[in-house]
Amino acid sequence: MKPATVSLIGLGLFAAALLLAMILGSSVNVSPDATSNPSQASLHEGVEGFPADCASCHGDRPDYALAGARTQYVESGHFLGFDLETPHAYYANGGGCQSCHTHEGFLEFLDTGQREATPYIEWPSQPGCFTCHEPHETGDFSLRTTAAVSLINDRTFDEGASNLCANCHQSRTDAMTAVKATPANQVRSYFGPHYGVQSNLYLGTGAYEFSDKAYSSSQHRFVVEEACIGCHMALPEGRYSLTAALGGHSFNIGIGEAEHSQLNPTSCANCHEGIGQLPGTRLFDSPANDDWDNDGNLEVAQAEFRGLLERLVNENGSGLLQQGEAPLFTNTGEFNTRAPEGLMRTEAEMAALFNYKFMSSDRSLGLHNMVYGVQILQDTIAALDPTFDTSTRPR
């Protein structure tokens, strides 16, 4: 064996011994007292130096199902990033992004109320268990905060435990001040509400609202218990439905695509008896009450909502925002970064850009608030195309 190898092994053994000594020499006093669980007390009785209270989380029979929660969490967008492929803390670190995309930045935001209290996090890490919980400080898994959240347009999101979610899942831009006629070469790809507008849509606020229209909300905001967590953390029936990637700390309502997708209707079924998945799609089979997208077919609600989005941008290049000399989106649906000097984007075009991004980045195809979403999209389309029939507009 080479001397360098022996040195590395020796160093590793020394580090392990030092860590063990630190654990055995520590004293912990947290609640709930693990000795309230007789199996824990007997399990560690006589094991010198192992703090009994630690067993409630780190024992063989813990009071808190941490291993199960983590099994779900590593399947979540919070862990895997937008594309469910790569954690994103390493690049979303700066410009205020760190306040939601890094563990350290979120804690700094809660402490200071500022999204960019420091320019960047020196050693960023992905949001995890201790981002939302602080068990070593509180002795349990209560949330770090459940305080009501003031949104960018001064509306208040106050939905109990789900207030924690709204600290990040909200628009960063006030549509009513941002939307105005703008030189085309000054419209940037990042114009819009940002990517997580779920708390805004849930309340029925935050999109660009046309002054001559009235807006309302679906019943979800009034009848869903615990708002975000009531749906996203509901566990499917039986053995995780054979996957840990639905419900719980995965926060996923659906996984996979098309015929390979799976949905979790557990929470929906409390009101929508018999609701299921439309075969071959990642859509719930809850029907729309009218042909909202004017395509001549009465479809399920999410398909009608998707049809409205595709009236603005679609893969065929025929959307209203894909027309003209220098359209906002290319015929493949990408944002068009080129625009000639002197071209102005009208207020209606800027409103459509904002509202398209708002509704598409919500990613629920209207489920968070179908009534408000359809109202906004129909009004947006009609502002660009006065021939569009809005007689099916929800009241």
Is there a domain that residue 32 lies in?
no
Do both 114 and 160 map to the same domain? no
Task: Please tell me the distance from the alpha carbon of residue 100 to that of residue 220, in angstroms, as a whole number.
Answer: 26
Is there a domain that residue 19 lies in?
no
Picking from 83, 109, 138, the residue at the C-terminal end of a domain is 138
Residue 6: the pLDDT is 40
Do both 109 and 163 map to the same domain? no
Residue 388: the pLDDT is 98
Residue 48: the pLDDT is 61
Residue 20: the pLDDT is 41
Outline where 25-122 has alpha helix (H): 38-44, 55-58, 66-73, 77-80, 98-101, 103-112
Is there a domain that residue 165 lies in?
yes
At residue 376's C-alpha, the angle toward residues 321 and 188, to 5°, is 40
Q: Give the domain extent around 128.
A: 72-138
Do both 217 and 97 map to the same domain? no
Picking from 138, 169, 191, the residue at the C-terminal end of a domain is 138
Among residues 163, 165, 166, the alpha carbon closest in space to that of 152 is found at 166
CA distances from 137 to 124, 275, 308 (A): 21, 42, 48
Residue 240: the pLDDT is 59
Task: Please tell me the distance from the alpha carbon of residue 49 to that of residue 20, in angstroms, as a whole number.
Answer: 10
Do both 298 and 374 map to the same domain? yes
Output the pTM of the full model. 0.86
As a whole number of angstroms, the longest Cα–Cα distance in the chain is 82
Average pLDDT per 10 consecutive residues for the chain, totaling 395 residues: 45 45 40 46 54 86 92 92 71 88 95 92 92 94 97 97 97 97 95 95 98 96 94 83 88 93 93 95 97 98 98 97 95 93 96 98 97 98 98 96
Residue 208: the pLDDT is 98
Is there a domain that residue 90 lies in?
yes
Q: Determine phi and psi for 344, rounding to 5 degrees.
A: -110, 140
349, burial (CB in 10 Å: exposed 0-12, middle 13-18, buried 19+): buried
pLDDT in tens, 247-262: 999 999 999 999 999 9
Do both 90 and 210 map to the same domain? no
Helices then strands (H, E): number in the chain?
17, 6
Residue 47: the pLDDT is 54
Among residues 110, 219, 214, the alpha carbon closest in space to that of 168 is found at 110
Do both 165 and 127 map to the same domain? no
Task: Please tell me the distance from the alpha carbon of residue 280 to that of residue 293, in angstroms, as a whole number.
Answer: 21
Is there a domain that residue 219 lies in?
yes
Do both 130 and 164 map to the same domain? no
Is there a domain that residue 278 lies in?
no
Domains in the chain, number:
2
Q: How far apart are the first and last CA of the chain?
A: 79
Do both 117 and 199 map to the same domain? no
Do both 194 and 291 map to the same domain? yes
Do both 217 and 130 map to the same domain? no
Do both 162 and 129 map to the same domain? no
**What DSSP letter does each residue of 277-299 carry, written as one string?**
B-TTSSSB-PBPSS-TT-SS---
Do both 206 and 313 map to the same domain? yes
Task: Please tell me the distance from the alpha carbon of residue 147 to that of residue 163, in angstroms, as a whole number.
Answer: 6
pLDDT in tens, 186-234: 999 999 998 899 999 999 999 999 999 999 999 999 999 999 999 999 9
Picking from 96, 115, 138, the residue at the C-terminal end of a domain is 138
Residue 52: the pLDDT is 80
Strand partners, 329: 335
Residue 51: the pLDDT is 81
Is there a domain that residue 57 lies in?
no
Helix axes 347-362 and 301-312, enclosed angle (nearest 10): 140
Is there a domain that residue 239 lies in?
no
Task: Please tell me the distance from the alpha carbon of residue 215 to that of residue 209, in angstroms, as a whole number.
Answer: 8
